[in-house]
């Protein structure tokens, strides 16, 4: 048993447990870069919200997220419809306050009012019965409990970006998502999530001074069409929505921050950048070598045909020359 400290998140893992095969249906922690940032950020966002609470991670998948929540929650139960996935999660993420069960989220094997909160990321779009799912979440929540769900925006994820996920059964536009939430949880707050390429600037304390919090509200400096403007929020449509829902506004927990940025300290955008530069330089060198070789072959062909390579009369000679070059004729 070991503990990994990544992005300020403690994750208990069993070194001997094999990784789950990535099929595209469920995220696995072995994935890197974009898909990793999207999935881990949601659970990192939820960590402080669930502190000290009894949590259900519905459609927990591989189990990495439930394990992250268990670092701050009182108890976490991870549920997934796949018995193979649940067996993997039990082996890989052993913890005294964490358990996993194989079950259908539309028919949870739990009593009414069993949990303080339910977390369910990237679940809605995999099912057709959205109302049935939220009714079941509402049933297992305590009277003052709350739900945190995510859902891709069909207008951006599928239409604007032209994605087609074979595992998505029914995606929602934002008005459809909000109408669904209002039917079951009249009080809700909505966040947008999207991968953005950023240059980060943050305040550093003097060497001899303690760190102090910066003042003011978050500002997004965005360049577009040669002009730079300051905005209170990103000038992009979110790809995913995160909704924090409850029966009453007073039951909604205080969100950890108006803005949440996620950083993977184990990955370097600069390493990736320089890798791409080296790859492109190598490709450019290969293209240059190819162009030089083509020029040499053209010159050789011209010499072999007496400078008449472009005429119809030399066609047979050119064909014979290429066949000899390629080793077709002995």
* Residue at 86 is within a domain: yes
The pLDDT of residue 209: 52
Distances (CA, A) of 309 to 97, 117, 294: 80, 78, 14
What total of structural domains would you count in the chain? 2
Is residue 261 domain-shared with residue 280, that is, in the same domain?
no
Distance CA 171, CA 231 (A): 29
DSSP 3-state percent helix, strand, coil across the chain (nearest 5): 35, 20, 45
Is residue 257 domain-shared with residue 287, that is, in the same domain?
no
Helix (H, G, I), strand (E, B) or coil at 286: helix
* Residue at 48 is within a domain: yes
* Residue at 170 is within a domain: yes
Distance CA 22, CA 30 (A): 9
Tokens 């459809």 sit at which residue? 176
pTM for the predicted model, two decimal places: 0.70
Is residue 178 domain-shared with residue 297, that is, in the same domain?
no
Is residue 182 domain-shared with residue 91, that is, in the same domain?
yes
pLDDT by residue, tens only, the chain of 330 residues: 233 323 333 455 555 567 777 776 777 777 767 778 888 889 988 998 999 999 999 999 999 999 999 999 999 999 999 999 999 999 999 999 999 999 999 999 999 999 999 999 999 999 999 999 999 999 999 999 999 999 999 999 999 888 888 889 999 999 999 999 999 999 999 999 888 776 666 656 655 555 444 455 666 666 566 665 667 677 677 888 888 999 999 999 887 666 777 766 666 655 665 566 677 667 777 777 787 888 888 888 777 776 665 555 556 666 666 666 556 654
The first and second tokens of residue 283, run together, are 């490709």
* Residue at 215 is within a domain: no
Is residue 290 domain-shared with residue 190, that is, in the same domain?
no
Instruction: Give the residue numbers spanning the domain of 304.
Output: 273-325
Is residue 100 domain-shared with residue 194, that is, in the same domain?
yes
Cα Rg of the chain (Å, integer): 28
Distance CA 235, CA 246 (A): 29
**CATH (domain of 237):** 3.40.50.150
Across the strands, what pairs with 3? 12
């Amino acid at each position: 048993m070991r503990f990994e400290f990544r992005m300020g998140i403690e994750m208990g893992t069993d070194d001997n447990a094999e990784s789950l095969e990535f099929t595209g249906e469920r995220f696995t922690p072995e994935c890197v870069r974009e898909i990793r940032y999207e999935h881990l950020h949601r659970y990192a966002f939820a960590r402080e919200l669930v502190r000290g609470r009894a949590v259900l991670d519905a459609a927990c998948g591989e189990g990495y997220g439930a394990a992250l929540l268990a670092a701050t929650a009182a108890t976490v139960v991870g549920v997934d419809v796949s018995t193979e996935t649940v067996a993997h999660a039990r082996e890989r993420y052993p913890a005294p306050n964490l358990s996993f069960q194989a079950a259908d989220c539309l028919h949870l094997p739990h009593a009414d009012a069993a949990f303080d909160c339910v977390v369910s990321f990237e679940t809605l779009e995999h099912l057709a019965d959205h109302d049935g799912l939220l009714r079941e979440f509402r049933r297992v929540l305590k009277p003052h409990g709350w739900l945190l769900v995510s859902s891709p925006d069909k207008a951006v994820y599928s239409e604007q970006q032209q994605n087609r996920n074979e595992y998505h059964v029914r995606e929602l536009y934002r008005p459809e998502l909000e109408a669904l939430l209002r039917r079951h949880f009249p009080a809700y707050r909505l966040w947008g999530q999207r991968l953005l390429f950023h240059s980060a600037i943050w305040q550093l304390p003097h060497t001899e001074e303690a760190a102090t919090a910066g003042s003011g509200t978050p500002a997004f400096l965005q360049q577009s069409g040669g002009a730079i403007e300051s905005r209170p929020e990103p000038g992009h449509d979110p790809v995913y929505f995160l909704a924090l829902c409850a029966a009453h506004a007073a039951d909604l927990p205080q969100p950890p921050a108006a803005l949440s940025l996620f950083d993977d300290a184990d990955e370097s955008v600069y390493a990736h950048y320089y890798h791409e530069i080296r790859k492109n330089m190598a490709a450019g060198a290969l293209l240059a070598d190819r162009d030089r070789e083509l020029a040499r072959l053209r010159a050789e062909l011209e010499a072999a045909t007496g400078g008449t390579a472009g005429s119809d009369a030399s066609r047979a000679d050119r064909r014979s020359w290429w066949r000899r070059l390629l080793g077709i004729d002995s």
